[in-house]
Amino acid sequence: MPLTDEQLAEIDALRATPRQTLRAVSDGMENHLYKANAVLDHGFVRVIDYMGDDAAICQAARVSYGKGTKSVQNDEGLIRYLMRHWHSTPFEMCEVKLHVKLPVFVARQWIRHRTANVNEYSARYSILDREFYIPAPDQLAAQSTLNAQGRGELLTEAESARVLEILKTDAAQCYDHYQEMISEDGKQGLARELARMNLPANIYTQWYWKVDLHNLFHFLRLRADAHAQYEIRVYADCIAGLVADWVPFAYRAFEDYRMGGVTLSAQAVDCVRRMLKGETVTAENSGMSAREWREFEGVVG
Amino acid sequence: MPLTDEQLAEIDALRATPRQTLRAVSDGMENHLYKANAVLDHGFVRVIDYMGDDAAICQAARVSYGKGTKSVQNDEGLIRYLMRHWHSTPFEMCEVKLHVKLPVFVARQWIRHRTANVNEYSARYSILDREFYIPAPDQLAAQSTLNAQGRGELLTEAESARVLEILKTDAAQCYDHYQEMISEDGKQGLARELARMNLPANIYTQWYWKVDLHNLFHFLRLRADAHAQYEIRVYADCIAGLVADWVPFAYRAFEDYRMGGVTLSAQAVDCVRRMLKGETVTAENSGMSAREWREFEGVVG
Amino acid sequence: MPLTDEQLAEIDALRATPRQTLRAVSDGMENHLYKANAVLDHGFVRVIDYMGDDAAICQAARVSYGKGTKSVQNDEGLIRYLMRHWHSTPFEMCEVKLHVKLPVFVARQWIRHRTANVNEYSARYSILDREFYIPAPDQLAAQSTLNAQGRGELLTEAESARVLEILKTDAAQCYDHYQEMISEDGKQGLARELARMNLPANIYTQWYWKVDLHNLFHFLRLRADAHAQYEIRVYADCIAGLVADWVPFAYRAFEDYRMGGVTLSAQAVDCVRRMLKGETVTAENSGMSAREWREFEGVVG
Amino acid sequence: MPLTDEQLAEIDALRATPRQTLRAVSDGMENHLYKANAVLDHGFVRVIDYMGDDAAICQAARVSYGKGTKSVQNDEGLIRYLMRHWHSTPFEMCEVKLHVKLPVFVARQWIRHRTANVNEYSARYSILDREFYIPAPDQLAAQSTLNAQGRGELLTEAESARVLEILKTDAAQCYDHYQEMISEDGKQGLARELARMNLPANIYTQWYWKVDLHNLFHFLRLRADAHAQYEIRVYADCIAGLVADWVPFAYRAFEDYRMGGVTLSAQAVDCVRRMLKGETVTAENSGMSAREWREFEGVVG
């Protein structure tokens, strides 16, 4: 269980004191505020704050004095138009701030999304908790033979058990030594900024992460994708659910035009046209590489 | 008067409907929401939305589960420490969205601050209003003889009158022709994206501008500075007043360590030390250029 | 003709003095260095500097010690794979610096691409030249009836002549007055930072613009697109030609997967699949809006 | 020794083939190209490419057609003026690309500088080398009692020996297990993207890092500072030496106005003025907190 009683009490306290505001309010998001959504074995995603809603996207697109809403139907149409035609700036007018607890190796992928604001728990200043990501057995897979940077078939039970044993033992030993090195009990105690170097990449860290909706969609498109590593994809999936409640029109447009959409190359467009005219198009006469053709077959079914 | 009755009614409507929220609320900022703060002859700054308050800065710096506040005194101390030691990321955790109406030549300086989100009124899509910035006579100054990119002494009354006459006449004529070119009254009417090229740089435009507090402070430091052009400085001054009400601790720290502070070069530090030891330091033995020495004298009084 | 003899001599001088370097060199780009490529009536694009080539993209993707090249064929395959799968960071490893002269209203669109470095000619410090963009008659079109922010049919000859007369007269008058206001001939002379406000948006400005290849491709995709305003599109087209000579593999991949490619929505993918199975899909049973269906028909031919 | 013979041969090959270019060339930087500058026990910094030199900064600031140089003396004066008055955009016109090998915990600090381009060695795709940072004994220090996030006095010999033993043993064991988990020798072999989670933060990674000079100066100011962690400071110091050879004027200005300069708060400026008038200023009547006063004493000596 990721949170202590004290932490849960702090969250309850925050949810117990509604206040008045004149700002745009998203009821869907108010429901989520501060609550911890569990991800992986010790991680979570918490919404700390948000700015704007679907109407705010339209208000900014129209540079209007009031709400900017003409009608709910118009709003959805405008949002879909903006998404379809890559008018990204109105989506930047919404912002969300999350508190995320995640393994360090996931954090290292995540941080590559540069257009965001981050405050991470400092291991120079503070002592990290004894919490490590240990995969569930059904996530222990072999190196993929098709995709050089993914995973393939599941490990056998025996091999899986052996891997889990290693991960648990090494994590425990490294953390014991971490504690021992920083301990000032009868000795000087190594500086925290040095001792942390002994901790493996499955230890959990946490941060506040703030991002605008356009850049969040970009993050989701890459990280909720089937090619993303499972351990970051579950965070993206969790956040996608929160966004769907926050800005339902924008999220639906994102699903239709980005997540569920596909990009065809010039060659692929040409092949589709030829196929629709009745021509038999094959890998050989498609003008695509073998790998592209395989991807193309996945698209056209 | 910059706003129409309809626009004022829209603003009143927005202020008439408080709602409940669980988010951090800044009372100082709620007071300002949606209201138009007049700047120059036709411009304004309106707060449309905001995220966070002083406590949110501390909450992020501490990566905490609850409010992050230990005590009000601690919070101010932490904020001042963060500002003094250039820990900028916690200040990025606050965000503000403004609606600004401003002359085009001011917008052209403003937009150079890249870390912000902008939606500008589109002159391809819409017709610009007949509103031009005409300086007050006490702002009509000659080219500075000291600062190659600033203004110096005030124009004489006669020269000032002549300048104003030119600015008004040309603006009126260019706008008349703009209207004439786009008019579809008995003719095709030139496309708006073309006709706008006839409009001078003192015409007003407007945009939604969203920025985090750290980058806003950077904007204010450069644009509320005495060397900034008057016409952008008045916007920065207006915004500074809003920020002081929004995040009073952070704003005071900004005043003390940035706006009211100075940066001394290695040479200047050396001169201060020598002077404090009783040595007579002059332009000649200071190791500075003439211009630097003049600036240094301004600092040490 | 955009350049003076003195400027042309400066450019010749720069091209007359090759030097030795150990860096990656792109012969295609060396050919272009410093030369002015004419755009519109007084504008140009000049390559001032560049970093990297096709091989440098692969070198960074492989984080290699040497050139990173395994074979030319491998390099092109890798670049196409990176482009197809949105691995954008290796393309950021190439950089180009351009000197561009362009009308102010074009500059105002261009500057919205934030991930770039810019130094613009300062009208606070310097006096702008008397050079205005006056469209060729075949560019004078009416407001589009289909696209609210574009242009439609050409103006008649009479209407076109009248528009040109207006643009020329107003530009000339505004510039005369600009000169008169700043003139110190027997008077104080208005400060430049004020006088410039009288200049219309078709006056030319210039800047140094530096951008990485990934962000440049993004710029080209949006600005070389058929929906972009003609006056910025011609700049994008010019730059696209330079990039094709600089990094031919990357540019071809960009053409195939971005410029010549299309993004299909989830609904559109579904329609393609149904059509390929022999179903008759119409606007009505497509699940798309009328406008989307029209765009879709444009794709599938 | 960080490099294999093959890697050294690749570097030699790159340095053996000078080519002609019309671009700006910095002789100081040509000397450094591709060579590995050793940092820590297994790390290095290598210059892979660069764009621009001191003259290029002036050329962009002047938006000139030719070199932009009026005289060497003028150039240095202009560069110092730009640095002193925070005109940062001309410094953005220079760019450098580095290949860096560094421990993961250093990489995690480094990556927080967002305005840069990065390609990191992928542990999803490739197998990491068995190389870990093991501090030299004179870098093993206790937690600081003054600075909550720094280190204080050196560890005793005994404690230091014990720490080194732990770091070496755990690194070796974790790496052995990493190899064992991914081994396909008679078993499936765990996917690399999973196995890497067992590796501690002192393992070395490497990346290509590209940044403009303005943002590099910002990095150096924070990371070559006495408060930065030693293990990143040595990288910053190494890079600073390279920059000094690349753009000597800019680097000297950076040293005088940034690294060697200090920022005084409004209160500190007031105190300096009072002291210069002969007043005895103490912590009590300074208007500063105890900590600020201590920092102030460090400045005025």
State residue C8's pLDDT score: 94
Chain CA centroid to CA A131, Å: 20
Inter-CA distances, B116 with A126, C112, C158, D88, D91, Å: 32, 11, 45, 17, 21
| Average pLDDT of the segment spanning A7-29 | 95
Domain check: are B141 and B91 in the same one? no
D152 interfaces chain A, CB cutoff of 8 Å: yes
Tell me the shortest Cα–Cα distance from B103 to chain A, in angstroms.
16
Q: In what order do the strands lie in the sheet with B95-103?
A: B37-39, B43-51, B95-103, B204-212, B117-120
Minimum-distance CB partner of A21 among B21, B56, B92: B21
Q: How far apart are CA B151 and CA B143, in angstroms?
A: 5
Q: Where residue A70 falls among pLDDT bands split at 50, 70, 90?
A: low
Which residues lie closer than 8 Å to D132 by C-beta, 6 or more apart? D42, D103, D167, D168, D171, D175, D200, D202, D203, D204
Residue of C nearest to D13 (CA): C66
Minimum-distance CB partner of B125 among C103, C114, C149: C149
Least confident of B120-134, B167-181, C136-150, D119-133: C136-150
Is the pLDDT at A13 greater than 60? The verdict is: yes
* DSSP, residue by residue, C162-200: HHHHHHHHHHHHHHHHHHHHH--SSS--B-HHHHGGGSB
Least confident of B68-82, D46-60, D166-180: B68-82
Minimum-distance CB partner of D7 among C34, C65, C118: C65
Domain check: are A45 and A104 in the same one? yes
Domain check: are B110 and B223 in the same one? yes
Q: How far apart are CA D199 and CA A201, in angstroms?
A: 6
A127 interfaces chain B, CB cutoff of 8 Å: no
Helix, strand, or coil (residue D211): strand
Write the burial class of residue A114 (CB in 10 Å: 0-12 exposed, 13-18 middle, 19+ buried): middle
Is the pLDDT at A67 greater than 90? The verdict is: no
Among B174, B200, B226, the domain boundary falls at B200
Tell me the shortest Cα–Cα distance from A146 to chain C, in angstroms.
14
Residues of chain B in contact with residue C201, where contact means CB-CB under 8 angstroms, are: 104, 196-201
| Average pLDDT of the segment spanning D192-219 | 98
Q: Which domain holds residue D119?
A: 5-133+202-259
C-alpha angle C89-C94-C95 in degrees, rounded to nearest 5: 120
Domain check: are C125 and C142 in the same one? no
**Residue A282 half-sphere exposure toward CB, CA atoms < 13 A:** 2
Residue D141's CB is within 10 A of a number of other CB atoms, namely 20
State residue B149's pLDDT score: 78
CB contact under 8 A, C180 and B166: yes
State residue D115's pLDDT score: 95
Residues of chain C in contact with residue D49, where contact means CB-CB under 8 angstroms, are: 23-24, 51-52, 56
| Strand positions, DSSP E, C61-128 | 95-103, 117-120
Q: Where residue C68 falls among pLDDT bands split at 50, 70, 90?
A: low
| Average pLDDT of the segment spanning C108-115 | 96
B184 interfaces chain C, CB cutoff of 8 Å: yes
| Average pLDDT of the segment spanning C243-272 | 96
A66 compared with A18, residue with greater pLDDT: A18
Minimum-distance CB partner of C142 among B118, B180, B188: B188
Q: How far apart are CA C117 and CA C212, in angstroms?
A: 10
Which residues lie closer than 8 Å to D280 by C-beta, 6 or more apart? none
At position C146, the amino acid (one-letter code) is: L
D222 interfaces chain B, CB cutoff of 8 Å: yes
Q: Where residue C40 falls among pLDDT bands split at 50, 70, 90?
A: very high
Mind listing the pLDDT tens digit for each residue in D66-80?
876 667 678 999 999
Residue C297's CB is within 10 A of a number of other CB atoms, namely 11
Q: Are strands D95-103 and C117-120 parallel, antiparallel or unpaired?
A: unpaired
Q: Between chain C and chain D, how many beta carbons pairs sit less than 8 Å apart?
A: 148
Among B182, B200, B218, the domain boundary falls at B200
Mind listing the pLDDT tens digit for each residue in A90-133?
999 999 999 999 999 999 999 999 999 999 999 999 999 999 99
Q: What are phi and psi of B128, to 5 degrees?
A: -70, 150
State residue A64's pLDDT score: 86
Residues of chain D in contact with residue C212, where contact means CB-CB under 8 angstroms, are: 117, 210
Domain check: are D292 and D217 in the same one? no
B121 interfaces chain C, CB cutoff of 8 Å: no
Mind listing the pLDDT tens digit for each residue in C192-214?
999 999 999 999 999 999 999 99
Tell me the shortest Cα–Cα distance from C98 to chain B, in angstroms.
18
Q: Where residue B145 falls among pLDDT bands split at 50, 70, 90?
A: confident
D49 interfaces chain C, CB cutoff of 8 Å: yes
DSSP B156: P
Residue in the structure block whose two tokens are 């202590």 = A4
The ipTM (two decimal places) reads: 0.95
User: CA nearest B250: which of B29, B16, B17?
Assistant: B29
Is the pLDDT at A139 greater than 90? The verdict is: yes
Q: How far apart are CA B195 and CA B193, in angstroms?
A: 6
Residue-averaged pLDDT of chain B: 94
Dig out the tokens for B156 from the structure: 């004489």
Is the pLDDT at B146 greater than 90? The verdict is: no
Residues of chain A in contact with residue C81, where contact means CB-CB under 8 angstroms, are: 291
Residue in the structure block whose two tokens are 């040479």 = B267
Residue-averaged pLDDT of chain A: 94
State residue B40's pLDDT score: 97
A210 interfaces chain B, CB cutoff of 8 Å: yes
Q: Where residue C69 falls among pLDDT bands split at 50, 70, 90?
A: low
| Average pLDDT of the segment spanning D232-260 | 97
Domain check: are D33 and D51 in the same one? yes
User: Of the residues A223, A233, A273, A294, which is catalytic?
Assistant: A223
Q: How many domains does chain D fold into?
A: 2
State residue A68's pLDDT score: 64
Inter-CA distances, D80 with B257, D76, D269, Å: 23, 6, 23
B43 compared with B144, residue with greater pLDDT: B43
State residue C138's pLDDT score: 94
Quote the percentage of chain C above a pLDDT of 70. 98
Residues of chain B in contact with residue C193, where contact means CB-CB under 8 angstroms, are: 149-151, 229
CB contact under 8 A, C119 and D210: no
Largest Cα–Cα separation, chain B: 83
Q: Are strands D141-143 and D151-154 parallel, antiparallel or unpaired?
A: antiparallel
Is the pLDDT at B64 greater than 90? The verdict is: no
Is the pLDDT at C153 greater than 90? The verdict is: yes
Domain check: are A251 and A272 in the same one? no
Residue of D nearest to B288 (CA): D256
Residues of chain D in contact with residue A136, where contact means CB-CB under 8 angstroms, are: none
Domain check: are B281 and B238 in the same one? no
User: CA nearest D45: which of D101, D125, D88?
Assistant: D101
Q: What are phi and psi of B23, to 5 degrees?
A: -75, 165
User: CA nearest C166: which of B85, B176, D21?
Assistant: B176
Residues in chain B: 301
Helix, strand, or coil (residue B261): coil
**Is A253:A237 a contact under the CB 8 Å cutoff?**
no
Tell me the shortest Cα–Cα distance from D121 to chain B, in angstroms.
27
C147 interfaces chain D, CB cutoff of 8 Å: no
State residue D70's pLDDT score: 65
Select the residue from C51, C57, C207, C213 to test the D interface by mutation, using most D Cβ atoms within 10 A.
C51
CB contact under 8 A, D86 and B222: yes
Minimum-distance CB partner of A86 among C222, C272, C275: C222
Which residues lie closer than 8 Å to B36 by C-beta, 6 or more apart? B2, B3, B11, B44, B45, B46
Select the residue from B113, B215, B257, B274 to test the D interface by mutation, using most D Cβ atoms within 10 A.
B257
Residues of chain C in contact with residue D218, where contact means CB-CB under 8 angstroms, are: none
DSSP C257: I
Q: Are strands A141-143 and C19-21 parallel, antiparallel or unpaired?
A: unpaired
D126 interfaces chain B, CB cutoff of 8 Å: no
> D78 in a domain, yes or no?
yes
- List the subunits that have 3+ CB pairs under 8 angstroms with C: A, B, D
Minimum-distance CB partner of C156 among B124, B156, B188: B188
Minimum-distance CB partner of D11 among C19, C65, C120: C65
Q: Where residue D223 falls among pLDDT bands split at 50, 70, 90?
A: very high
State residue A146's pLDDT score: 77
Quote the percentage of chain B above a pLDDT of 90. 90
D241 interfaces chain A, CB cutoff of 8 Å: no
Q: How far apart are CA D46 and CA D98, in angstroms?
A: 5
Q: What are phi and psi of C173, to 5 degrees?
A: -65, -45
Mind listing the pLDDT tens digit for each residue in B244-283?
999 999 999 999 999 999 999 999 999 999 999 999 999 9
Dig out the tokens for B208 from the structure: 């939604």
State residue B51's pLDDT score: 98
Domain check: are D44 and D73 in the same one? yes
Residue of C nearest to D20 (CA): C20
Q: What is the CATH number of the domain that holds A111?
A: 3.30.1360.170
Q: How far apart are CA D51 and CA D97, in angstroms?
A: 9
CB contact under 8 A, B60 and A208: yes
| Average pLDDT of the segment spanning A154-165 | 96
> A180 in a domain, yes or no?
no
> D56 in a domain, yes or no?
yes
Inter-CA distances, B112 with A93, A145, B107, C111, C204, Å: 19, 49, 9, 8, 18
Q: How far apart are CA A62 and CA D275, in angstroms?
A: 57
State residue A268's pLDDT score: 96
Cα dihedral sign, C222-C227-C232-C233: positive
Largest Cα–Cα separation, chain D: 83
Select the residue from C82, C109, C272 to test the A interface by mutation, using most A Cβ atoms within 10 A.
C272
D 11-40: CB under 8 A from C: 11, 13-15, 17-25, 30, 33-34
- List the subunits that have 3+ CB pairs under 8 angstroms with A: B, C, D
**Is B105:C192 a contact under the CB 8 Å cutoff?**
no
D63 interfaces chain C, CB cutoff of 8 Å: yes
Q: Are strands C19-21 and B262-264 parallel, antiparallel or unpaired?
A: unpaired
Tell me the shortest Cα–Cα distance from B71 to chain D, in angstroms.
17
Is the pLDDT at C291 greater than 90? The verdict is: no
**Is A245:A31 a contact under the CB 8 Å cutoff?**
yes
Mind listing the pLDDT tens digit for each residue in C115-132?
999 999 999 999 999 999
Q: How far apart are CA B270 and CA D186, in angstroms?
A: 70
| Average pLDDT of the segment spanning A209-224 | 98
Where residue D261 falls (left for φ over 0; alpha for ψ -120 to 50; beta otherwise) is beta
Residue A249's CB is within 10 A of a number of other CB atoms, namely 20
Tell me the shortest Cα–Cα distance from D137 to chain A, in angstroms.
12
Mind listing the pLDDT tens digit for each residue in B165-198?
999 999 999 999 999 999 999 999 999 999 999 9
Domain check: are D125 and D271 in the same one? no
Q: Where residue B70 falls among pLDDT bands split at 50, 70, 90?
A: low
State residue C70's pLDDT score: 66
| Average pLDDT of the segment spanning D212-225 | 97
Domain check: are A276 and A249 in the same one? no
* DSSP, residue by residue, chain A: ----HHHHHHHHHHHT--EEESS---HHHHTTBT--EEETTTEEEEEEEEE--HHHHHHHHHT-SS---S-HHHHHHHHHHHHHTT--GGGGG-EEEEEEEEEHHHHHHHTT--SSEEEEPPTTTSPPPS-B----GGG-EEEPSSSTTSEEEEPPHHHHHHHHHHHHHHHHHHHHHHHHHH--SSS--B-HHHHGGGSBTTBEEEEEEEEEHHHHHHHHHHHSSTTS-HHHHHHHHHHHHHHHHHSHHHHHHHIIIIIS-EEE-HHHHHHHHHHHTT----TTTSSS-HHHHHHHHHHH-
Q: How far apart are CA B112 and CA B119, in angstroms?
A: 14
User: CA nearest D106: which of D210, D233, D232, D209?
Assistant: D232
Which residues lie closer than 8 Å to B285 by C-beta, 6 or more apart? none
Q: How far apart are CA B59 and CA B65, in angstroms?
A: 8
| Average pLDDT of the segment spanning D171-181 | 98
Residue of B nearest to A52 (CA): B49
Domain check: are B145 and B291 in the same one? no
Dig out the tokens for C70 from the structure: 């395994």
Q: Between chain A and chain D, how many beta carbons pairs sit less than 8 Å apart?
A: 160
CB contact under 8 A, D89 and C20: no
Dig out the tokens for D177 from the structure: 């297990």
Positions of C annotated as catalytic residues are 223
Residues of chain C in contact with residue D92, where contact means CB-CB under 8 angstroms, are: 117, 210
Residue of C nearest to A301 (CA): C273
User: CA nearest A209: which of A294, A286, A101, A134?
Assistant: A101
